[in-house]
Each structure stands twice: as C-alpha cells, then as structure tokens.
Amino acid sequence: MRFGPRRGNRAGLVGIVILAVLFATSCSTLVIDDTVISSDAMQGRQNDTPGSVGAQNYLIYRLKPVAVGLDSSRTGDDAFKQPFDAGTNILAKIPGTDKADEYVIIGAHYDHLGINCRTSNDADHICNGATDNGAGVAALLSIAGMIKADGPPRRTVILALWDREEDGLLGSKYYTDHPLVPLAKTVAYINFDIQGANLLPSLQNTSFAVGAESGGAGLTTLVKNAIGTGPLQTRLVSSIFGQGRSDYVNFTAVGVPNVFFSDSTGPCYHTAQDEVSVVDFWKLEQQVKIADKLAMSLTQADGRPTFSPTNPLATFDDALTLQSITDGAISDIARFTPAQQTQLLAFRDQLNTVVAAGAANFDANDISTLVGGAATAVGILTTGACDGFISHH
C-alpha cells in the first residue's frame, strides 16, 4: 500500500540519535543501531518527514568512519545521498583494490510506515519497524565495519540504504534506473529485509536465503558455504517465495545476481509492536556472520556469478524445504484459528503428496501447489499477537 508523504520541522533529530548512541556504548553495535533507528524519535521513518531525515543523518554519521559517499559529483554529506521523488537513498562505498571497478552491493531499506500500521495498543501508533527493517540496517552497518576492519576488499563494496521500499520498492527502483556505478560491473546484490524475527516458537532457528539461483550454481554454492553448519538453519528457497516484496526484485529485473536474506513476515509484521524488545539479537548475530562470509567471498574471488533467469519458478528442493518447515511448525498449530489450522494441515498434506511422488514427477501443477500454499501460509503467520519468541536464547 502506498502512503503519502508528510512534511514538517526537520531540525534537531541528529543530536537526539547521537546521544542515544553515547548512552548505549556498552551494548553491541547491532543493539545500538537497531535501538536508534527504531526509536520513537524517528517517528516510524516515513519518507519525507523529520523522522526520515533523522534516520538519514544517523546513517551518514555511522557510515563516515568506514566508507565514503558514492556520488563523487556531490560534496560533504550530500555525497552519501541520492534524492528522488519524495525520497532519499543513502549510498556509500568501501573502495576496492585490484578489482575496484567491480562492485558488490549490500542493501537494506531504512524507511517504514510512520504511524500508518496496525496496533494492539491504542496508546501506541508509532511504527518503529525494529525487525522491518531496523535490524536489516543494523546488520548492514555491522558488516560494513567488519569489511573495513579486515582491510580493503578486492572489489568495491557499495552500502545501500533504500528509501520508499514500503511504497513499492521505489528507492531501489530509482537506483537501478539511475545507477551510480555500471550495472554490468555489479557482481552481486545482497539484500536484508526483516532480520532477527521469529515466525513461531518452533521456528526460532529458521531463516531464509531467497533467490540465490539468480546467480546460478556459482552464487548458490557461495551462499551454501557461507551458511555452513552453523547454529542457525538458513534455508535456501527459490526467488518466487520472496513474493516480489523486497528490493532484490529490482536487481533481478536488470540482470544482477542476488540473494535476499529474510525471516519472512510474522505476527509483528507492519504493527506498532514491532519494537526492539521483539528482536532476536542472537539470531541477528548469526545472520551477520553468514552475510559477512558471503560478502567476503564475493569481494575476494577471482571469478563472479553469472546471472541466470529463474526457470522453473520452483523446484523439488523447495518442496523438501517447505515440507521440513511445515512439519516443524505443526507443533504450534494451536496458536491459530480452526479455519487456519485446516488450511495449514491441508498444505502439509499437499507437500507430503508432492514429496512422496518424487523429483522425477515434479511438474507445473506441483509448482502451483507450492507457490499458492506458501502464500496462504505466510498470510496466516502474520496473524496473532506480536511476540518475539526469543526465550530460548
């Protein structure tokens, strides 16, 4: 849904957010960054508002020690900004060495919904967006620091904080229409959107890497290697299961290999209760480690992934992944209404039938079953009380 911009007094917020950092110096940078970005002072980070400007100022403040502004035609803080219709992307780079004219982009949207979201508390209407996408922003900033600390990468790393994602992916679309570095020289795009979030108690150790097949076997292998055998079960699924709902879509459209790291949409999604208290920071730390390892591989390797259009839309491996996740989630089925339980159980039965038939019999009808059933399940998972489900960490 597209929300209209609201204008107002833009002064004073940068001081607030910097003070918020100073009082929290004993915390990890992940906690600090998410706490500041998702604070009430940002008023939900709706584009073209004082809260959005405060977020921009904070992001530039955090990027300056590790990166420089991407737009060399502009000076000072403006070099970090890419203005467009009622929005501002924040773009920085960590220059590379012998492959400096090739680029790896790491991106996350920083905007959110202002005060236009669901709430279970009439006294709270600020859409803080701590998992969507304060945590993704915090992950990006953390990885930027790690890349800088490790020494200059071979390829240049671009750090992209998109605006107006919530209005239809408009910030990243503007960038891919008006790139500041050649798209043909862009090796890969890593996207963060909804991190440190849990769908259910039974899925606390589950996360997703969406669309790695866009970079063929090369990118898929790098993603699998980055995930490794760590404690967080990050499951690869095909691009279609991202439902076209994040900025990776615009890079697919221009032929840039990409992977979309996400925890999908749970009961806190687009509610005023999506606050720092529901962020699973243990999970977020694991996600940062995985993405940093992937970024390192992409920046240092001699070769680069080759873009591969998605065909077919889904695979038998997707069926196996969805079956495993659904089987685990059934232990929490009592959280849902009887009608929702019926839908979830029906999808589980459909998955079992597809898997039992075997890979050799996987066809277009099975793809339709997977895509439709997954969309229904995601819709169901967004219902219920907002709860971070993080007691086990």
CATH code: domain of residue 128: 3.40.630.10
Q: Look at residue 54 and tell me if it is in a domain.
A: yes
Buried b (16+ CB within 10 A) or exposed e, 155-194: bbbbbbbbbbbbbebbbbbbbbeebbbeeeebbbbbbbbb
On the question of pLDDT at 1 being above 70, the answer is no
Q: Look at residue 388 and tell me if it is in a domain.
A: no
State the alpha helices, DSSP H only, in the chain. 13-23, 29-37, 50-63, 135-149, 170-177, 216-227, 248-253, 281-300, 316-329, 338-357, 364-381
Residue with tokens 């798209």: 183
State the pLDDT at residue 392. Answer: 54
267-322 pLDDT, tens per residue? 999 999 999 999 999 999 999 999 999 999 999 999 999 999 878 999 999 999 99
Considering only the C-alpha atoms of the chain, give the largest distance between any 2 of them, rounded to a whole number of Å. Answer: 62
109-144 pLDDT, tens per residue? 999 999 999 999 999 999 999 999 999 999 999 999
pLDDT band at 368 (very low <50, low <70, confident <90, very high): very high
pLDDT band at 391 (very low <50, low <70, confident <90, very high): confident
149-208 pLDDT, tens per residue? 999 999 999 999 999 999 999 999 999 999 999 999 999 999 999 999 999 999 999 999
Please tell me whether residues 334 and 259 are part of one structural domain: no
Please tell me whether residues 352 and 250 are part of one structural domain: no
State the pLDDT at residue 40. Answer: 97
- Helix or strand run (H / E) with residue 259: strand 258-262
Please tell me whether residues 293 and 189 are part of one structural domain: yes
CB atoms within 10 A of CB 111: 29
Quote the tokens at residue 380: 């169901």
On the question of pLDDT at 219 being above 90, the answer is yes
DSSP secondary structure of 116-136: -SB-S-TT------IIIIIHH
* Chain-centroid distance, C-alpha 89: 16
Please tell me whether residues 213 and 323 are part of one structural domain: no
Please tell me whether residues 331 and 246 are part of one structural domain: no
On the question of pLDDT at 361 being above 50, the answer is yes
On the question of pLDDT at 2 being above 50, the answer is no
Q: Look at residue 290 and tell me if it is in a domain.
A: yes
Please tell me whether residues 237 and 356 are part of one structural domain: no
55-114 pLDDT, tens per residue? 999 999 999 999 999 999 999 999 999 999 999 999 999 999 999 999 999 999 999 999
Please tell me whether residues 264 and 150 are part of one structural domain: yes
State the pLDDT at residue 230. Answer: 87
Please tell me whether residues 193 and 321 are part of one structural domain: no
Distance in angstroms (rounded) separating the CA atoms of residues 295 and 282: 20
Q: Look at residue 99 and tell me if it is in a domain.
A: yes
Last residue of a domain, one of 300, 327, 361: 300
Q: Which of 15-24, 31-40, 305-314 has the weakest average pLDDT?
A: 15-24
Residues whose CB falls within 8 Å of the CB of residue 318, separated by 6 or more in sequence, listed in order: 237, 238, 241, 370
Last residue of a domain, one of 271, 300, 329: 300
DSSP secondary structure of 330-362: GGGGGGS-HHHHHHHHHHHHHHHHHHHH-GGG-
Please tell me whether residues 103 and 77 are part of one structural domain: yes
Its pTM stands at 0.94
Q: Look at residue 100 and tell me if it is in a domain.
A: yes
Give the DSSP letter of residue 229. T
Please tell me whether residues 205 and 338 are part of one structural domain: no
Q: Look at residue 264 and tell me if it is in a domain.
A: yes
Give the DSSP letter of residue 271. B
> What is the rounded average pLDDT for all residues in the chain?
93
State the pLDDT at residue 339. Answer: 98
Quote the tokens at residue 278: 């529901």
State the pLDDT at residue 21. Answer: 45
* Chain-centroid distance, C-alpha 390: 19
Asked if 204 contacts 389 with a C-beta cutoff of 8 angstroms, the reply is yes
| Nearest by Cα to 222 from 287, 293, 143, 320 | 293
Please tell me whether residues 114 and 83 are part of one structural domain: yes
Cis peptide before 361 (omega within 30 of 0): no
Last residue of a domain, one of 300, 332, 358: 300
State the pLDDT at residue 3. Answer: 27
Q: Look at residue 390 and tell me if it is in a domain.
A: no
Please tell me whether residues 236 and 373 are part of one structural domain: no
C-alpha angle 263/269/272, rounded to 5°? 140
State the pLDDT at residue 393. Answer: 52
Asked if 318 contacts 241 with a C-beta cutoff of 8 angstroms, the reply is yes
Domain range for residue 353?
Answer: 316-381
Residues whose CB falls within 8 Å of the CB of residue 55, separated by 6 or more in sequence, listed in order: 17, 37, 42, 45, 110, 111
Domain count, the chain: 2
Q: Look at residue 305 and tell me if it is in a domain.
A: no
- Over residues 237-246, the mean pLDDT reads 96
